[in-house]
Structure 1
């Protein structure tokens, strides 16, 4: 079983690997002209970001894999979480490749991404339902009991995985936003997994925490590199898989509240415009709404980080109720 000191070591190792890989990867991506394109309808302040290297998620994926696979604690659960991270990152990579290399702005079609996501999600759900000592039960926050989803477990879990992954993807719209929020959320799951004695989840969560922390060195405003869909999809897949394999799926809307409201803002915006012709927000996802209200990008990011920290503290409290 992993101890507190080992968790700290894992975080530091992943952090250092990311710091080393960053300066190596950025010039390569620049030479390959793998630059981010900025939407014309987006905030005007983002125009200057056009051409910034993207697909930086490859750095985090590499750091997570190197850290975990050389830890000496590998088992099936760890491989499943890594599978989710790499598989979702792979979908994001293909999407990024089509957009920035082949210059097709729309990337993968929505149904193509969705089909791939659902297949990966079902694999994770089936694995957990067959191997977990809790079967189809999921821990309930703030209660010392579990809820058995029975035959609804696999469709429910698959839905959560797809929703979480796409929500993290939507959150990645400002320098350091998705990486910072995920850093805090992954640290929560590292501590929660440690509390429940789940070594695999503790290990990957710690590596994810370190990778996000290291990536922020290059991704905070003004960003030298973006994670792209490669990174945001990988982060979302990792968080979802960690939550599922620790039977803490119902904690995602709490500690990942920012992911939730970012996705909800897009859904409400689309529904409102289609039904009434009016927009609820100045722009969605939500972080752009605050930008257009006059908030500086850095302020939006720090506030969203602070809210995530508060939500994760509440999540930690719910473990001991």
Structure 2
């Protein structure tokens, strides 16, 4: 616990000190997010590359306080590849297919070093501790998990402080779970991640002075994904009453809905749009701070639910049933809201055929 505390404080201090320097560097190299379409909510250009400060805080803290192992080396190398990819994309806007390929390569690195989802729980035989061992499916499913969660966190990075704050809440939730499981190594890693996020957040809260960009969002998703399949925490991974899915429920849910929505409308799954949960809250008239506060609360409730799931089986069943009902209700509500908004856009486009539909949204 003491080492985890030191790792947390060290990462926070480094990220806090590094962020202004990274901001100057981003301005110098031209890594600036200019509000040029309806998806963006900010009104003026904001520097990117804030993820580098988070990465440095995490990396240096882990190298100082953690015991290096093959799996940890794989995680750090893969994370470094992800940060480099994100930084280049923040500056040059890379091709989506190229990014996807590099993300797969980055995910393969820790998997090749032994990081695996080894089994999923047999839901129908859970009371007896039934398991379904994945065998040769272990590696590809782990890669899918890492790549998927990396992009899920990236997808919710649409409001000041949202992705970083949600990742912080998820980190604290995972920390409390692994402490209960007695996993000191994983606790130290996730404490360092939480500290790095805390150090960056003062510059990222609304009104943001710097964005973490893809270099930060992809990195946070990558570390959260790899930590959740490492140490003792991996025994709860995937279907074991969905602890990681609850802790990281907001980005996973938002991403799943986004992919389904885009496919229904004949778009590519990775094609950006204005249909994410945070966009819906803004369209309902909320300010950025209000929308972020609500999503923080949702993440905290999901994290608390995951912590409770490590205890009583009865509590597990009740919480899972409640969470499933809530998720289904929210999914239906958001889908109907999006369909109504989509039809309104089509109607407006029909009335004004010379004006692009995306320009009819509120300026972001």
Secondary structure in structure 1 of the residue aligned to 2:47: coil
Work out the CA distance in 2 between the residues paired with 1:319 and 1:197.
13
Work out the CA distance in 1 between the residues paired with 2:127 and 2:219.
30
Work out the CA distance in 2 between the residues paired with 1:29 and 1:73.
33
Shift of 1:242: 0.5
In structure 2, the partner of 1:272 is: 264
Is 1:81 aligned with 2:75?
A: yes
1:155-200 per-position Cα deviation (integer Å, ceiling 9, x unaligned) = 2111111110111110111000000000011122223333333333
Secondary structure in structure 1 of the residue aligned to 2:266: helix
In structure 1, the partner of 2:51 is: 57
Question: Which of 27, 38, 43 is the matching residue for 1:41?
Answer: 38
Larger radius of gyration: 2
Shift of 1:97: 2.2
> Per the alignment, do residues 112 and 143 of structure 1 end up closer, same or farther by CA in structure 2, a change over 3 Å counting?
farther
Work out the CA distance in 2 between the residues paired with 1:140 and 1:55.
42
Secondary structure in structure 1 of the residue aligned to 2:38: coil
Show the 5 A alignment for 1:1-321. Answer: 4-42=1-39, 46-48=41-43, 50-71=44-65, 73-98=67-92, 107-128=93-114, 136-138=118-120, 145=129, 146-246=131-231, 247=234, 248-250=236-238, 251-274=243-266, 283-321=274-312
Work out the CA distance in 1 between the residues paired with 2:94 and 2:27.
23
In structure 1, the partner of 2:354 is: none
For the aligned residue pairs, the C-alpha RMSD in angstroms reads 2.4
- Give the TM-score of the pair, scaled to structure 2: 0.75
- Give the TM-score of the pair, scaled to structure 1: 0.85
Work out the CA distance in 1 between the residues paired with 2:220 and 2:300.
17
> Per the alignment, do residues 127 and 319 of structure 1 end up closer, same or farther by CA in structure 2, a change over 3 Å counting?
farther
Shift of 1:285: 1.8
In structure 2, the partner of 1:279 is: none
Structure 1: state its 5+ residue gaps: 99-106, 276-281
Shift of 1:222: 0.2
